[in-house]
Every structure is written in structure tokens, then in C-alpha cells.
Amino acid sequence: MNKALNTREKLLTHARALIWRHGYSNVSLRQIAAAAGVDVALVSRYYGNKRGLFEATLEGAFDTPTVETAEELVEMVVQLFVSHPRDATDVSVLHLMLMNAQDEEVGNLVREQQQALLQTAVEHATGDQTRAALFMAAILGMSVAEKSLHLKGIAPYDTAEYEKQLRHMLTSALAYQP
């Protein structure tokens, strides 16, 4: 039984790393099984199919600590960005959203989960749907600016200036008045 749990966890861990980083449609079950060091047939045994394995990677992905105010939300996000490892093997829910929200097969599922869990929590803390959407756009924008575009004006993530820049973006999004 312990071997089954190990195999199941290996598949889940490698599916999360590969699919979240490269996108659902860009990763095969054979790639996931090879990375996990198991036979590809075991995906069917434990998860049914690729979609079942992907859905398993979503469990808990959008869970967030409870925050009551916009200020708490800003500080939580700043600390998450600053403390999040930047190595090549690490993936985050931002990777999941950026790489899979537009996928033809699973994009709707990603968007539904984001809306139902993460967006609702942000709306609760901000008290407004529009500010919550702008807040999420600022988070995703900072992630793209840092990880994909490597914009020269964005300070290194481990500096006080980076925290200041991120805090400014987030509080500016929350300051929006219709």
C-alpha cells in the first residue's frame, strides 16, 4: 500500500510541475510518467486519465489563508511573492493560471476554480468585484513582468525595492474608484 501511495504522489507531483509550468495540452502522460519514474498505465489505475490527474492537481491549489481586510490581503500577497522560491522546478498557482486558463480542454475548469475560490476570497477582502479583478490583474501582471518579460525596471525579488514596487501595484489596484 505504501508503494501505491508513493506512486500516486509521484504522479501528482510531476503532473503539477509539468502541466502547471508548460500547460495541459503541451505535456503528455508519457512525459509525466517518465518524470515520475513509473509506467504510464499507472495513471489510468490511480486517476482514470490525464484529465483526472489534472483535476487532482487542482485540489487545494486555490486555497488561501483567510484575510478580512484589503491591507491584510496586500501584505499576504507581498510576503508570498517575496518568500516564494524562484528555482526552475518550483511552480505556483500563478503558473497554473497563466499556462492553463486558456487551454481548450481544461481552461474553463481553471477559471471556474479561480473564480469560486480565489477570486471570491479577494472580493471578500476588498469588498468590491472590480477592485478584486484589478488586484488579480496586478498579481498576474507582476508575475509576467518578472518571470516572462524580465523587465529591467522590476527590482530583484529579494530586495526592499521589489516589495515597495509590488505593494504599490497592489494598493493602486485597490484604490480604483468607479
pTM: 0.87
Condensed to tens digits (0 to 9), the pLDDT of residues 59-97 reads 999 988 889 999 999 999 999 888 887 776 778 899 999
- pLDDT per residue over 99-145, tens digit each? 999 999 999 999 999 999 999 999 999 999 999 999 999 999 998 98
- The predicted-structure confidence for 3-31, as pLDDT tens digits, reads as follows 656 999 999 999 999 999 999 999 999 99
Indicate the Cα dihedral angle 154, 155, 156, 159, nearest 10°. Answer: -150
CA–CA gap between residue 141 and residue 134 (Å, rounded): 10
Nearest to residue 122, comparing CAs of 50, 67, 47?
A: 67
Average pLDDT over residues 46-64: 95
Q: For the chain, state the CA radius of gyration.
A: 18
Read off the pLDDT of residues 134-153 as tens digits, 9 standing for 90 and up. 999 999 999 898 888 989 99
Domain ranges in the chain with CATH number 1.10.10.60: 2-58
Largest interatomic CA distance in the chain: 57
Give me the pLDDT at residue 4, please: 57
pLDDT at 24: 98
**The predicted structure's pLDDT at residue 90:** 78
The pLDDT score that the predictor gives to residue 147 is 81
Q: Helices in the chain by DSSP H: which ranges?
A: 2-22, 29-36, 41-47, 50-58, 70-83, 93-100, 107-113, 120-126, 129-143, 160-174
CATH code for 2-58?
A: 1.10.10.60
Cα 118 from Cα 129, distance rounded (Å): 12
**Using 50, 70 and 90 to split pLDDT, how confident is the model at 164?**
very high
